[in-house]
Amino acid sequence: MTRPLAITLNALALYAVAFVLLTAFAGQLLLGELPCPLCLLQRILFAMLAIGPMLNIRHGPRPSHYALSLLAAVVGAVVSGRQILLHILPGDPGYGSALLGYHYYTWAFIGFAVAIVAIAAVLLFDRQFEERTAPPPVSGFAVAAVWLVIVLAALNVISALLECGFGPCADNPVVYELLKR
Amino acid sequence: MEFTALLLATTVTMLAAWFGSRALTLGLFGLTLAACVATYLHHATDVLKLSF
């Protein structure tokens, strides 16, 4: 795998993270389902998955950059796995509504597991690490992906502030604390 | 509030990844991830209110 191809794949990974964050926002805004504390933690870890690809695009691919995303994916899988186990008893309806038969935290677990496998697969290709020259020129496609994820992360900061206010977040939130009258 | 702070820290780390140095980004990433794990462990040790 050449360095330009690796950078294109990293940009695509950023679009995948943006898709996940947008889907979570759609559930929140269109269905009125506020994210629970564990759901927020999973969103944070999805956003942290994006930091490795950003470094790869900005400074060129390095194994250490992929390692950051791998760490975020492993912690994300643990958090989403715990939420699955919290609702595993027969008769438990789960938290929130289901999307295509699975709850958001189940999709999150699948997403983190796919990320772990994808990162391991990309790490198999050594050629992307051999060309240690100046940082590569960044395409508009990649820059747009970077800014899309940064803007979505910033919107999540505002959303979490509105939802939780300045105290601890509710276990089962139903209203935005800062918009409550 | 802790989740707002974690999201803010993640956004700042992203900006550091894009505009700043690698060392700064790695440091911020490590701090944010450690804070995420601490937050998770704090919630994971809550008593579960099961009703069976």
ipTM, interface predicted TM-score of the complex: 0.89
Q: Tokens standing for B12?
A: 């700042």
CA distance A85 to chain B (A): 12
Contact B52 A47 (CB under 8 A): no
- Residue A86 confidence (pLDDT): 87
A114: in domain: yes
Percent of chain A with pLDDT over 90: 58
In this structure, is residue A162 part of a structural domain? Answer: no
Q: How confident is the model at residue B50 (pLDDT cuts 50, 70, 90)?
A: low
Whether residue A135 is contained in a domain is answered as: yes
Question: Is residue A180 in a domain?
Answer: no
The answer to whether residue A103 sits within a structural domain is yes
Number of domains in chain A: 1
Q: Does residue A163 fall inside a structural domain?
A: no
Which residues 21-40 in chain A show a CB within 8 A of chain B? Answer: 37-38, 40
Q: Is residue A179 part of a domain?
A: no
Q: Does B34 touch chain A (CB under 8 A)?
A: no
Indicate the average pLDDT of chain A. 90
Task: Considering only residues A33 and B50, tell me which one the structure prediction assigns the higher pLDDT.
Answer: A33
Is A10 inside a domain boundary?
Answer: yes
A131-149: burial string, b at 16+ Cβ within 10 Å, e else: eeeeebeeeeebeebbebb
The residues near A154 (Cβ < 8 Å, ≥ 6 apart) are: B11
Domain that includes residue A95, residue range: 3-150
CA distance, residue A171 to nearest chain B CA (Å): 10
User: For B48, which DSSP code?
Assistant: P
Query: Which residues on B lie below 8 Å from A86 (Cβ)?
Result: 48
**What is the average per-residue pLDDT within B25-47?**
90
pLDDT digits (tens, 9 = 90+) for A13-55: 999 999 999 999 998 899 888 888 899 999 999 999 999 999 9
Q: Tell me whether residues B14 and A51 touch, CB distance under 8 A.
A: yes
- What's the CA gap between A118 and A70, in Å, rounded? 10
Cβ-contact A68, A49 below 8 angstroms:
no
Look at A113 and A87; give whichever has higher pLDDT: A113
